[in-house]
């Protein structure tokens, strides 16, 4: 690839890999010297995940372990940061069928779908900061994106979705300072599992899915899983539609108790006419225009040209081996390719300004439209190699981890704009001649990141837990532009985390932690070179409670994140200066309980206070950034009947609250709060199942968020989803 410093990166990676291999080899030699008798090889399809492993299915709503907070199987109570886990059962009970961001609507500290249901992007804001591009992972490997070059995952292929709150640079390198979303794939099972499902919603959007897993050999050495889905039909915006689907085959090989290899592939695609949501003006949505409100399902594009298509391919593997010396070596690797193309105009406010102005006199309420075209080609590769050992040094027990990871992201993109014409908000006319777009960006952007990290989780004194992390990263960014700016940057940065906790015998674990982070940036500074990474730190304190009299987990946390060295665009030169700083402070509460065989309960609350500390515009210092609500709350209760007459019937209901947010930097325009109600009913008998879920039962008309006066999006209208399923 053009502009890549391959020799340097390969040398770094090889040096680290050789060191790890040497370490493992020395441990193995010492073990061999201590034991002269070789043990026989037992082939029994081992390395099966227990129900409480960090990647296995979640029992009910309560997960006990995670890999997101430590890169190893670790009880949630021992991670010195807040972690939320959403398993398959919870997603099914709430009727999650289309997008991953729907699964996090009940998660504290997380804002999803701020522009409504965007069909081609999963939007996540964690602790006030956008995680959509730099905070999305799958099975611990980054799904980094830039511009329009982002991958999208269907929730049907996932076993669980985990949210690690706060910075994660110590484990994953440069990433969103607010936290990350780690999606965990379904994996081949040791016991046969076959299921299919079909469904349709009130819009006429239907789907069919299948999920098969079984042994390929009688001894269980070889197992497979094949998961797929196809969906399509009308979407909410007037006249829009989509067709999407994926297929994901997997094979696991476990020749003995110490070795496991899983190889997987994924092919997915999308073809849609865009929804019209996300670029509506504040006047006409949040507040009435003289003509009233713009309808939620309004479409102001051009159906003859408006289209988005993408094709995604992934190929990867996960490997682990237990050495005799106590070391376990694991490696994950994945290659991904994306081709994406979209075209169509989008709105940009009223032609004649604010319709509420006394001087406004346009009877047609014409809206500006900006023509847009983009084509993105992405090639990305990530690999993570780590070694773990558990040992004692005197009274201290260690769970020690050392590793290295490498990722490369290459984006070949073209963007063009501006060839369109206005359209009336009240009487839109389609099919008028569109202007010609001009290319303003033709760029090949490449970013490489290499990290070396270590972690030590220590136990001593009957209940004390200490977690120490250290990491060093090297980041190379290269922009080779035919149209646009060409630049190069080479940065390196350390990061660290220290956590202290104490496990009481009653299940209460208070903890404190402090960590530093960095987040690589793409862009051109006023000096003409690339931007240096954002840096900062987080301080967090909390309590985790896992009672012994009930199957549940409760978490309460308080935090402060300082995000420094943010890039801000100079309004005069349009170049970027890195003087921005935002502070995020808040509290979060979450509880999940499997009360008994009948009742399951989850509840959450979060309050986030965002404040601009430094900015080119001194007038907004002390203000809060727009879009993110100041508070969220949610409650879901589910009941499964077990009496003879109603056995197999389950009902659930929930309420979620989204607090107020700002629509502009000046903090003069407010987006009001909204309270929404959801419900579901399910029946399962002898492998057959039927379910009916309703989101936003009362069809509340509300704006989910605004990223400026002309960028507002409606939240989802009432959505009714009916599904039939069969398991055998």
**423-455 pLDDT tens trace:** 999 999 999 988 899 999 999 999 999 999 999
Alpha helices (H) in 135-265, listed in sequence order: 169-172
> Looking at residue 6, what is its pLDDT?
40
CA-closest candidate to residue 183, choices 251, 135, 254: 135
For range 396-403, the mean pLDDT:
98
Mean pLDDT across 75-103:
96
Look at residue 52 in the predicted model and tell me its pLDDT.
Answer: 67
pLDDT at 22 over 50: no
Is 29 a residue whose pLDDT tops 60?
Answer: no
Rounded Cα gap, residues 607 and 630, in angstroms: 6
Query: Model confidence over 163-221: pLDDT tens digits?
Result: 999 999 999 999 999 999 999 999 999 899 999 999 999 999 999 999 999 999 999 99
Residue 12 has pLDDT above 70, yes or no: no
The Cα–Cα gap between 25 and 16 comes to 14
pLDDT recorded at residue 570: 67
With a cut of 80, say whether residue 575 has pLDDT above it.
Answer: no
Instruction: Over range 451-480, report the average pLDDT.
Output: 96
Q: How far apart are CA 624 and CA 611, in angstroms?
A: 5
Strand order in the sheet with 366-370: 346-350, 366-370, 423-424
pLDDT score of 659 more than 70? yes
- Per residue in 594-642, pLDDT (tens digit) is 999 899 999 999 999 999 999 988 999 999 999 999 999 999 999 999 9
Dist CA 294 CA 645 (whole Å): 49
Q: How far is CA 528 from CA 259, 443, 486, 568, 573, in A?
A: 50, 16, 9, 15, 12
Chain centre to alpha carbon of residue 272: 22
Q: Give residue 571's pLDDT.
A: 63
Residue 415 three-state SS: strand
pLDDT at position 259, please? 97
Beta bridge partners of 214: 224
Is 119:242 a contact under the CB 8 Å cutoff?
yes
Res 702: pLDDT: 97
Q: What confidence score (pLDDT) does residue 53 get?
A: 86
Is the pLDDT at 37 greater than 80? The verdict is no
What is the phi-psi region of residue 204: left when phi exceeds 0, alpha when psi lies from -120 to 50, beta otherwise? left
Q: Confidence class of residue 573 from pLDDT cuts 50, 70 and 90?
A: low
DSSP element (H, E) containing 367? strand 366-370
Return the pLDDT at 118.
83
Q: Give the Cα separation of 157 and 244 in Å (integer).
A: 14
Count of CB atoms situated within 10 Å of the CB of 305: 14
Mean pLDDT of the chain: 91
pLDDT at residue 689 tops 90:
yes
User: Which pTM value belongs to this model?
Assistant: 0.91
> Does the structure show a pLDDT above 60 at 38?
no
pLDDT at 572 (0 to 100): 62
Please check whether residue 165 is in contact with residue 81, taking contact to mean a CB–CB distance below 8 angstroms: yes
Residue 116: name the closest of 514, 712, 606 by CA.
Answer: 712
% of the chain beyond a pLDDT of 90: 83
Question: What DSSP assignment string belongs to 10-32?
Answer: HHHHHHHHHHHHHHHHHHHHHHH
Q: How many CB atoms lie within 10 A of CB 347?
A: 25
Where does 104-192 show beta strands of DSSP type E?
Answer: 110-112, 124-126, 129-130, 136-138, 141-142, 158-165, 179-185
Mean pLDDT of 541-555: 97
With CA atoms as reference, report the closest residue to 443 among 377, 532, 527, 373.
377
**CA gap 195, 208 in Å, rounded:** 11
Q: What is the pLDDT of residues 300-329, one digit of tens each?
A: 999 889 999 999 999 999 999 999 989 999
- Tally the residues of the chain: 728
Looking from the CA of 589 toward its CB, the CA atoms found within 13 Å total: 9
Q: Which residues pair with 467 in a beta bridge?
A: 457, 499
Ranges 36-50, 129-143, 274-288, 524-538: which has the least confidence: 36-50
Query: Residue 122 pLDDT > 80, yes or no?
Result: yes
Contacting residues for 721 by C-beta, under 8 A, at least 6 apart: 95, 97, 199, 200, 201, 202, 691, 692, 693, 694, 695
Q: Is the pLDDT reported for residue 2 higher than 60?
A: no
User: Tell me, what's the pLDDT at 5?
Assistant: 39
Give the separation between CA 53 and CA 266, rounded to whole angstroms: 24
Distances from the Cα of 694 to the Cαs of 113, 452, 691, in angstroms?
17, 47, 10
Higher pLDDT: 30 or 122? It is 122
Q: Is 264 helix (H, G, I), strand (E, B) or coil?
A: strand
C-alpha closest to that of 268 among 311, 306, 328, 332: 311
Average the pLDDT over 660-688 and give the result: 97
């Amino acid at each position: 690839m053009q502009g890549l410093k391959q020799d340097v990166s390969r040398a770094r990676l090889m040096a680290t890999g050789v060191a790890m291999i040497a370490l493992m080899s020395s441990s193995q030699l010492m073990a061999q010297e201590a034991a002269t008798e070789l043990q026989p090889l037992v082939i029994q399809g081992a390395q099966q995940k227990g129900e409480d492993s960090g990647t296995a299915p979640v029992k009910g709503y309560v997960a006990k372990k995670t890999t997101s907070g430590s890169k190893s199987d670790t009880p949630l109570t021992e991670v010195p940061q807040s972690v939320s886990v959403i398993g398959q059962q919870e997603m099914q009970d709430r009727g999650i069928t289309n997008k991953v961001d729907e699964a996090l609507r009940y998660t504290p500290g997380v804002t999803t779908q701020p522009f409504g249901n965007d069909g081609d992007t999963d939007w996540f804001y964690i602790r006030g900061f956008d995680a959509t591009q730099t905070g999305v992972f799958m099975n611990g490997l980054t799904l980094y994106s830039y511009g329009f070059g982002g991958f999208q995952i269907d929730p049907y292929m996932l076993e669980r979705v985990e949210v690690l709150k706060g910075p994660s640079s110590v484990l994953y390198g440069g990433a969103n300072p607010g936290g990350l979303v780690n999606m965990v794939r379904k994996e081949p099972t040791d016991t046969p599992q076959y299921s299919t499902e079909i469904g349709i919603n009130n819009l006429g959007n239907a789907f069919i899915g299948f999920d098969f897993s079984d042994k390929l050999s009688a001894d269980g050495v070889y197992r497979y899983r094949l998961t797929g889905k196809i969906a399509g039909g009308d979407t909410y915006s007037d006249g829009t539609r989509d067709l999407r689907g994926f297929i994901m085959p997997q094979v696991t090989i476990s020749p003995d108790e110490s070795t496991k290899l899983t190889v997987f592939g994924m092919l997915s695609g999308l073809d849609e006419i865009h929804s019209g949501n996300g670029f509506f003006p504040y006047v006409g949505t949040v507040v009435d225009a003289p003509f009233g409100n713009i309808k939620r399902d309004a479409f102001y594009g051009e159906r003859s040209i408006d289209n988005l298509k993408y094709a995604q391919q992934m190929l990867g593997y996960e490997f682990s081996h237990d050495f005799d010396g106590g070391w376990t070596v694991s490696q994950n690797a994945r290659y991904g390719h994306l081709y994406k193309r979209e075209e169509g105009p989008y709105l940009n406010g009223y032609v004649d300004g604010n319709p509420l102005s006394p001087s406004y006199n346009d009877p047609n309420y014409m809206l500006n439209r900006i023509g847009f075209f983009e084509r993105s080609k992405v090639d990305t590769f990530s690999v993570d190699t780590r070694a773990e050992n558990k040992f004692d040094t005197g009274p201290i027990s260690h769970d020690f981890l050392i590793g290295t990871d490498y990722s490369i992201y290459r984006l070949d993109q073209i963007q063009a704009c501006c060839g369109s014409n206005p359209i009336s908000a009240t009487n839109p006319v389609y099919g008028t001649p569109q202007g010609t777009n001009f290319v303003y960006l033709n760029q090949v952007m490449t970013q490489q990141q290499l990290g070396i990290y270590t972690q030590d989780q220590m136990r001593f004194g009957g209940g004390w837990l200490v977690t120490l992390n250290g990491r060093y990263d090297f980041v190379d960014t290269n922009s080779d532009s035919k149209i646009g700016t060409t630049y190069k940057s080479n940065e390196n940065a350390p990061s660290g985390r220290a956590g202290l906790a104490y496990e009481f015998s009653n299940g209460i674990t208070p903890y404190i932690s402090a960590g530093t982070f960095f987040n690589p940036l793409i862009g051109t500074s006023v000096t003409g070179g690339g931007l240096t990474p954002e840096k900062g730190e987080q301080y967090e304190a909390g309590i985790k409670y896992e009672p012994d009299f009930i199957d549940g987990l409760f978490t309460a946390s308080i935090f402060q994140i300082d995000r420094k060295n943010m890039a801000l665009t100079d309004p005069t030169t349009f170049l970027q200066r890195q003087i921005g700083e935002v502070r995020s402070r808040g509290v979060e509460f979450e509880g999940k309980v499997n009360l008994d065989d009948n009742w399951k309960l989850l509840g959450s609350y979060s309050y986030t206070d965002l404040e601009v500390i430094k900015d080119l515009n001194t007038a907004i210092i002390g203000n809060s950034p727009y879009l993110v609500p100041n508070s969220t709350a949610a409650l879901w209760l589910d009941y499964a009947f077990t009496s003879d007459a109603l056995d197999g019937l389950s009902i659930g209901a929930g309420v979620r609250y989204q607090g107020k947010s700002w629509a502009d930097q000046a903090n003069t325009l407010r987006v009001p709060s909204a309270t929404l109600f959801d419900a579901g009913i399910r029946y399962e008998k002898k492998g057959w199942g039927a379910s009916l879920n309703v989101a936003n039962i009362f069809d509340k008309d509300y704006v989910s968020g605004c990223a400026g006066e002309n960028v507002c999006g409606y939240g989802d209208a009432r959505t009714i989803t009916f599904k039939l399923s069969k398991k055998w």
